[in-house]
Amino acid sequence: MLGVRAIRTQDFEILQHHGFFNEQTRYERGHLIAPDGTRVLANFADPDARRVIAAQCMGSKLHHGLVLHGGFYLGPRDFYQGLRELSIDDRAAICLCGVDKINQLDRNPRLYRQQRRHARFINTCMMVTLSGAFVSDGLADGRVVSGVGGQYNFVAQAHQLDDGRSILLLRASREVGGQAQSNVVFNYGHITIPRHLRDIVITEYGIADLRSKSDSEIAKALIAIADSRFQAELLKQAQAVGKIEAGWQIPEAQRHNLPSMLEQKLSPYRASELPLFPFGCDFDAQEQRLLPVLGRVRDRAAKTPRWKLLLALLRFMPKSIPAALQNDLQRLQLVTPQSVEDRVAQMLVVEELQRS
Q: pLDDT digits over 149-158, tens only?
A: 899 999 999 9
Give yes or no for a contact between 349 and 324, defined as CB atoms under 8 angstroms apart.
Answer: no
Instruction: Assess whether 133 and 239 both reside in one domain.
Output: yes
Instruction: Assess whether 251 and 305 both reside in one domain.
Output: no
Instruction: Assess whether 172 and 290 both reside in one domain.
Output: no
Specify if 109 maps to a domain. no
Instruction: Assess whether 239 and 137 both reside in one domain.
Output: yes
What does the angle CA 102 – CA 104 – CA 105 come to, to the nearest 5 degrees?
110
Instruction: Assess whether 46 and 125 both reside in one domain.
Output: no
> What local confidence, expressed as pLDDT, does residue 4 receive?
52
- The stretches in the chain having pLDDT less than 70 are 1-4
131 burial via Cβ count (<10 Å: 0-12, 13-18, 19+): buried
Specify if 268 maps to a domain. no
Instruction: Assess whether 211 and 316 both reside in one domain.
Output: no
Give the C-alpha separation, 178 to 303, whole Å: 5
Neighbouring residues of 196: CB distance < 8 A, sequence distance ≥ 6: none
> What is the per-residue pLDDT across 57-76, written as a single tens digit (0 to 9) for each?
999 999 988 888 888 888 89
Specify if 140 maps to a domain. yes
Specify if 272 maps to a domain. no
Which of 257, 272, 293 represents a domain boundary (last residue)?
Answer: 257
Q: Which of 32, 38, 37, 35 is nearest to 7 (CA)?
A: 32
Strand 120-124 relative to strand 127-129, pairing: unpaired
> What local confidence, expressed as pLDDT, does residue 2 receive?
40
The DSSP letter of residue 171 is -
Q: What type of residue is 206?
A: G
> What local confidence, expressed as pLDDT, does residue 176 receive?
84
Instruction: Assess whether 251 and 122 both reside in one domain.
Output: yes
Backbone angles phi, psi at 241, to 5 degrees: -105, 10
Instruction: Assess whether 49 and 75 both reside in one domain.
Output: no
Give the C-alpha separation, 339 to 296, whole Å: 21
Specify if 3 maps to a domain. no
> What local confidence, expressed as pLDDT, does residue 270 receive?
82
Instruction: Assess whether 127 and 38 both reside in one domain.
Output: no
Instruction: Assess whether 227 and 159 both reside in one domain.
Output: yes
| CATH number (domain holding residue 242) | 3.40.1080.20
DSSP characters over 71-132 = S-----HHHHHHHHTS-HHHHHTEEE--HHHHS-STT-HHHHHHHTTT-EEEEE-SEEETTS
Specify if 351 maps to a domain. yes
Give yes or no for a contact between 222 and 184, defined as CB atoms under 8 angstroms apart.
Answer: yes
Neighbouring residues of 344: CB distance < 8 A, sequence distance ≥ 6: 301, 309, 310, 313
Instruction: Assess whether 27 and 78 both reside in one domain.
Output: no
pTM over 0.85, yes/no: no
* Domain count across the chain: 4
| DSSP-derived 3-state class of residue 69 | strand
Specify if 231 maps to a domain. yes
Specify if 102 maps to a domain. no
Instruction: Assess whether 124 and 241 both reside in one domain.
Output: yes
The parent domain of residue 78 ranges over: 68-97
